[in-house]
Structure 1
């Protein structure tokens, strides 16, 4: 199955589990060391071959399935400042960081805030081209896993089962994002065909439900979309371990997070996050 075919028909969780080479690359400890040394120095030398492998794999995976994972990319034991310096240089040809909140932060550390990790984060898209996550410490209880869903596969299921609701999801919806980064009022279809023929998506269930007075048919369309997203063949669970990089193309892949119960101290879950727009 080629990258073009995957992008054209969407993917299932079963397919991703059977073909990790399509979306994942594992770095050796030596290549990680070379990448780290060169990226901190802000020039490519002995780590250039490893960098070329990462760059090629990320681009190929983003084009094929809309997300890319690189295992063992960076040691999570470094300072936050050095991690940001290194990752920014490694990803410079892929995209540039943009503000991800009203405070204008380009990089943030995701961690449990007053027990909010225990609440599942539903499927959604962010208002940037690429979501970048670097796992510094996974949740000790095994939760907090990223969940992914192919917009194309979701589209095809709804088209087959409820074409009347798909037609509604392809209409314009209002997302009121007042006080957040980027555009404050976003009017867009939830599912749509992009210029390259792939199926695109934009969705934030709580935001759209709170942004307008929705009638019964619109609520039915949103409820059906949410139900499809959580079907086992759709929702692909991905557990990141320390040092793993995950990049998600928001226009083609919806993402969420499973709940977790955090623990204090060094075992607490920590994820370094950036929003990027592609170059």
Structure 2
């Protein structure tokens, strides 16, 4: 679909405004199409500390055991405080912490699950006098000891599992165009020196999906410096980093001054990069060159609630995405086939795969399905381009825009490339490395659960 911004905006304006319960409302922005202009770093809100249930109350005493009793398949334990918990025998034996079963220096199980008796049962269970540990002697003579704090962190009750779920991955906050009034920001120098500032950045990225970093030098190489503090740069067929400038023979529409629809990057790769960085080295001084941002997960939720049948078209029909060009002397022809909205096994939205320029003309479906899919796609665009679902922000030289490429769509308003220069360097990070860094910093700075 080649429909541009103006026609989609007119169509989207005819839709009813959706419920604001997707995001806590802020003061309404009078005109959502106004550009968000950067302010001096000292006058803009810094990244907020994200409240996470994975951060324990360190003033509370460590959990202590009172007693334990054997059931049919589980061991029941009572705590000094709170409700009792049950632990399956097979789980306890599989997670024995003795040196023969667990390599402490690697935080890794070394025992083989096939060596566990299928009906493993304790012969003897004993709680230490101080309540700090539980000793289990199994019927085959194997013996293991579990600390009370280790058991408490891994309890099967909903509260403890929720805490670990939030340690595994912070819960996102879906947002609308009002977000331009509270853009999360960070200082490049602080990120390079202060672990607490870096942790706030990582938490904010998981929750809101984007951040603007100010104060980077106006030269290439800053993404490599920042990446040493966060994650490895993930290479693609455009290199470890790539330069976005207007070129005489562009291999990508981004290398022109044309308007770029809202999209996610490199959809034609099966391993679509998780996080994108765009370092503005030189910004176009005239009108245009503004970034456009939208929370695609919010829009997908709207689509599912308002148009469930059309939503299923976008989750079920496979679309061809292709990148066929030559860049820096390297020729490539990359194709991936995936739905426009990818779902997780639990029914939650995983990512929205949308790109006007990278969607191939080959469409391997019956004509009737193609017609239905286009109807669904245009409906999604109606929602996406409603004024309350996106905002504009013009990066200044020295700023780095970081976006969750699985969730946040970005675009660019057109500019007259022959009237001035616009120079941006881009790169990609991996969510596994970013979340790893966040968990390590949480443990170091806040004493969060070890998760091992």
Taking structure 1 as the reference length, the TM-score comes to 0.76
Deviation track 1:23-70 (CA, whole Å, cap 9, x = no partner) reads 22246xxx47xx7xxxxxxxxxxx622xx2542232122111111111
More helix by percentage = 1
CA distance in 2, matches of 1:260, 1:94: 33
Where does 1:70-85 land on structure 2 (aligned, <5 Å)?
A: 70-72=213-215, 74-76=216-218, 78=219, 80=220, 84=221
Aligned to 1:12: 176
Aligned to 1:149: 294
Offset, 1:231: 1.2
CA distance in 2, matches of 1:189, 1:183: 20
Aligned to 2:203: 60
Q: Flag the structure with larger Rg.
A: 2
Offset, 1:158: 1.4
The DSSP-based 3-state class of the residue aligned with 1:154 is helix
Query: Could you list the runs of 5+ residues in structure 1 that have no partner in the other structure?
Result: 36-46
- Do structure 1's residue 242 and structure 2's residue 397 form an aligned pair? yes
Q: In 2 relative to 1, CA 13–137 (structure 1 residues): closer, same or farther, beyond 3 Å?
A: same
CA distance in 2, matches of 1:182, 1:263: 28
Aligned to 1:207: 358
The DSSP-based 3-state class of the residue aligned with 1:122 is strand
Where does 1:216-231 land on structure 2 (aligned, <5 Å)?
A: 216-231=371-386
Q: In 2 relative to 1, CA 53–236 (structure 1 residues): closer, same or farther, beyond 3 Å?
A: farther
Query: Could you list the runs of 5+ residues in structure 2 that have no partner in the other structure?
Result: 1-23, 25-49, 53-169, 266-271, 326-330, 434-452
- Do structure 1's residue 121 and structure 2's residue 274 form an aligned pair? no
Aligned to 2:442: none
Deviation track 1:116-168 (CA, whole Å, cap 9, x = no partner) reads 64421112112211111110111111311111111221112212332211111
CA distance in 2, matches of 1:25, 1:166: 36
Taking structure 2 as the reference length, the TM-score comes to 0.49
- Do structure 1's residue 274 and structure 2's residue 448 form an aligned pair? no
CA distance in 2, matches of 1:275, 1:177: 19
Q: May I ask how many residue pairs the two structures share in their alignment?
A: 247
The DSSP-based 3-state class of the residue aligned with 1:259 is coil
Q: In 2 relative to 1, CA 187–93 (structure 1 residues): closer, same or farther, beyond 3 Å?
A: farther
Correspondence for 1:87 among 194, 216, 223: 223
Aligned to 1:40: none
Q: In 2 relative to 1, CA 94–190 (structure 1 residues): closer, same or farther, beyond 3 Å?
A: farther
CA distance in 2, matches of 1:53, 1:142: 37
CA distance in 2, matches of 1:216, 1:64: 36
The DSSP-based 3-state class of the residue aligned with 2:392 is strand
Name the Cα RMSD after superposition: 3.1
Residues 202-211 or 252-261, more deviating = 202-211
- Do structure 1's residue 176 and structure 2's residue 316 form an aligned pair? no
Bigger relative CO (Cα 8 Å, ≥ 6 apart):
1
Deviation track 1:202-232 (CA, whole Å, cap 9, x = no partner) reads 2223433523156211111222222222111
Q: In 2 relative to 1, CA 182–131 (structure 1 residues): closer, same or farther, beyond 3 Å?
A: farther
Q: In 2 relative to 1, CA 211–253 (structure 1 residues): closer, same or farther, beyond 3 Å?
A: farther
Offset, 1:3: 7.4
Aligned to 1:39: none
